[in-house]
Structure 1
Amino acid sequence: MDKQSHIQGHAAVLRIANFDTDQVMPKQFLRGIDKAGLKDGLFYDLRFDEAGNPKPEFFLNQAAYASTNILIAGSNYGCGSSREHAVWGMQQYGFKAVIASSFAEIFYSNAMGNGLLLVTLSEDQVQALMQEADDLGAPVAMEIDIESCTVRSPKHQFSFPMSARHHRMFLEGLDVIGLTLTLQAQIETFAQQHWAKQPWVKDVARKTVDRLEQ
């Protein structure tokens, strides 16, 4: 993950509650064995008609929204299946953050672990940002200060909660593995103490394979 202390850009509104991961990234885009091409599947049924033609009424198909990198979404965003592809697709498209009053738990974990910032505000605060964007009739300029956990738009400023673990991950550019490796010395100390007390469990898999190959 890259270090992130500020996210600046423009936010657009998706006024749909309980927007699930199949709507974020439909199942037909999960056939590959890597992350390639997920950008094309993002919000596919909203972006395209049955013939594959762009729907002009959807905001991402409008030139004015080309710079959108923050989404203001309805409550319980990312519910449904646990597919991590939904997060990867949003990032490939250019989204850096999603603001909502609530998120599905697994989606939240997937997103924050991959560096897609999820900002949880009260429903009243989310509605205020949505109304600001609606009044403007265009993407609203927005800055998210991760260090101070603050969201700023031209008309509003709100604080949001963030766990100490996720706060450190974003500021230091650590994914879950990287965060774990910061504790490598403690892990090695624990392992040595564990093996000293129970030496028969050390390298048990390798020893079993060696015995079977004899």
Structure 2
Amino acid sequence: MRKFTVHRGVAAPLLRVNVDTDAIIPSREMKLVSKQGLGEGLFAGWRYTAPGGREPDSCFVLNRPEYSGASILLSGRNFGCGSSREHAVWALAEYGIRAIIAPSFGVIFQGNCERNGILPVVLDDSAVQAIAGEVEADPQGSEVEIDLEQQRVISPGGHTYSFDIAPSSRQMLLQGLDQIGSTLCRLEEIEAFEEGLRQRRPWLFEL
């Protein structure tokens, strides 16, 4: 997956609470056996005027020209609640979303983001609202910067907000590694342990 160190981009305010994974990608949009093509179904129930259709709803934030190319989402509490479908994160990633800033996340969704290269940033509601207010006047000229190394968000007006993230999740994102990739970084230690075990208990390896 892509490394996340410092990202600067257009931030789109989707300031709704309890945005669940079925809203992020409805089940009718999950017809593929791969991650490719899911971005088209992102927020399909809100983004298009009719179920299953592809006529854009001009009122939806991601369809508005001033938020074209948005790579950061600003949202309300409990973003990504509901089912554990990883397709929701895959759809966000394929669309181009690199980070989501919200007061809280669904626990499983948050972990899925971290394992797929999307940074979930937890800031209190007042901070999210303040950033959205700064962005609104000129979204294309008011980019938000997120620095994972320093664990801070810098608003268009220069206000800085610190955020917390688990050290293991931070390291995975900085290195661009999922859990398997992180484990394989310790391959030499794993192989040494296996060899030692083979010497101490050879009967375990008999076929």
TM over 0.5: yes
Structure 1 residue aligned with 2:181: 178
Distance in 2, Cα, partners of 1:28 & 1:202: 47
Distance in 2, Cα, partners of 1:196 & 1:19: 53
Distance in 2, Cα, partners of 1:15 & 1:144: 19
TM-score normalized with structure 2 length = 0.90
Deviation at 1:15, TM superposition (A): 1.3
Q: Which moved more, 1:164-173 or 1:100-109?
A: 164-173
Structure 1 residue aligned with 2:46: 46
Alignment of 1:10-159 (within 5 A): 10-50=10-50, 52=53, 53-134=55-136, 136=137, 138=139, 140-155=142-157, 156-159=159-162
Larger Rg: 1
**Contact in 1 for aligned 2:10/2:139 (Cα 8 Å):** no
Q: CA RMSD in A?
A: 1.8
Q: Which moved more, 1:105-114 or 1:194-203?
A: 194-203
Distance in 1, Cα, partners of 2:82 & 2:198: 42
Deviation at 1:171, TM superposition (A): 2.0
Question: Where does the alignment leave 5 or more consecutive residues of structure 2 unmatched?
Answer: none
Matched, 1:169 2:172: yes
What amino acid maps onto 1:35 in structure 2? Answer: K
Deviation at 1:110, TM superposition (A): 0.7
Deviation at 1:200, TM superposition (A): 3.6
Deviation at 1:199, TM superposition (A): 3.4
Deviation at 1:5, TM superposition (A): 1.3
Deviation at 1:177, TM superposition (A): 1.3
Structure 2 residue aligned with 1:8: 8
1:71 aligns to what SS in structure 2?
strand
Counterpart of 1:192 (choices 166, 187, 195) is 195
Distance in 1, Cα, partners of 2:31 & 2:84: 16
TM-score normalized with structure 1 length = 0.87
> Could you give the per-residue CA deviations for residues 72-116 of structure 1, whole angstroms, max 9, x where no partner exists?
011110011111111111111111100001111111111101101
What amino acid maps onto 1:187 in structure 2? Answer: I
What amino acid maps onto 1:178 in structure 2? Answer: G
Q: Percent identity?
A: 40
> Could you give the per-residue CA deviations for residues 170-209 of structure 1, whole angstroms, max 9, x where no partner exists?
2222221111011112222332343444434326xxx3xx
Question: Where does the alignment leave 5 or more consecutive residues of structure 1 unmatched?
Answer: 208-214
Q: How many residues align?
A: 203
